[in-house]
Amino acid sequence: MDEGVEPCRSGGYSYYRHNDKNRPDDQNPAKSTHRVQPTSHSDEEPTLNRICIIANPAARGVRARLESLERLTRNVVIKTTQGPGDAEAQTERAIDQGFETIVAAGGDGTINEVVNGIGHAPVALGILPMGTVNVFALELGIPFNLLAAWKVIRARKIRSIDLASANGHLFVQMAGVGLDAQIVERNSRRVKHVLGPLSYLLTATQVAAERPPRLRVLVENQPAREGSFVLVGNGRFYGGPFSLFNEADIQDGLLDVYVFKSMNYVALMRYFRGVLFGSLAKFSDVHYFKANHLVVKSDRHVPLEADGELAGHSPVEFSVRRRKLRVLVPA
């Protein structure tokens, strides 16, 4: 059962439970909420009263850092998620309750859910990097130190970035049809939590041994392109500190697209080497281009991932809206 926090007359905090009948009626946060309010902190910015943190306690390292987070944050509501999809629902409720800044505390999957909860609402997104992978935080230069990341949120510097979508599912960093989505589809949350990034490599060796799908990529007024898997980037980084989409600009209103013709062990090793040396776009069996809209069709049911989370199956329609998401970034 979750607990909340409210000030005591003697100073400090007292904890209430959500079924406490003695709680005041005007303090009724959503399920799994920690409300933190200081007794006397006149130097706190008024804007902090309208911040809601959505924390994923299942993300790697988050549970141990929640207490530190509560000590850092004042005049802030912390809501912990209960499972897949809950971060999106909690975000939607927070916006309905009037919060002006929604902070995602977790990995890229948590951020993606929060972004889908925000949609096109005129609120700001803050990031507290935690979890297995934090590619979006890396893209924006947000520090991985909790205190430093919280200072970024308090500084209130906002940058408007492009907001991409795949079949209506929003994403901020990258998406894929085929190989990486197949890996995500088979990679259980339990294995990912235990092994971290290594789990993706182990699953990739299994997928690479199978017959790849045939994908067809369609862009208006351009010849169709065919391949075995497709990667779509809004930002530069993919899967960690790998600058895959070297020409990507997260504010240009365009998606960067790779179409890979092959999907066997030898080809994948060659592609990976191309990423490391920055020569991937020059390969004869790789198509690299930019577009604000494209459609990926396939000869069979092929999974789609967005920001590292399974988001559906082919066919997939990609689009992007320029500078539609407001994000708190370092000065």
- Read off the pLDDT of residues 284-294 as tens digits, 9 standing for 90 and up: 999 999 999 99
Find out whether the peptide bond into 315 is cis, omega within 30 degrees of 0: yes
Judge if pTM exceeds 0.95.
no
Same domain, 201 and 76: no
Say if 330 falls within a structural domain. Answer: no
Q: Domain range holding 252?
A: 169-323
Tens-place pLDDT, residues 115-151: 999 999 999 999 999 877 799 999 999 999 999 999 9
pLDDT at 189: 64
Q: How far apart are CA 47 and CA 173, in angstroms?
A: 28
Say if 313 falls within a structural domain. Answer: yes
Tens-place pLDDT, residues 146-170: 999 999 999 999 999 999 999 999 9
Instruction: Read off the CATH number of the domain in which 212 is found.
Output: 2.60.200.40
Sequence-distant (≥ 6) Cβ neighbours of residue 2 within 8 angstroms: 17, 18, 31, 32, 33, 34, 80
Q: How far apart are CA 169 and CA 175, in angstroms?
A: 10
Q: Which of 156, 190, 225 marks a domain boundary?
A: 156
Say if 161 falls within a structural domain. Answer: no
Q: Which of 156, 185, 217 marks a domain boundary?
A: 156
Say if 164 falls within a structural domain. Answer: no
- Mean pLDDT over each residue of the chain, to the nearest integer: 84
Say if 79 falls within a structural domain. Answer: yes
Same domain, 13 and 140: yes
User: Do 297 and 315 contact (CB within 8 A), yes or no?
Assistant: yes
Burial tier of 46 (Cβ tally within 10 Å: 0-12, 13-18, 19+): exposed
Number of domains in the chain: 2
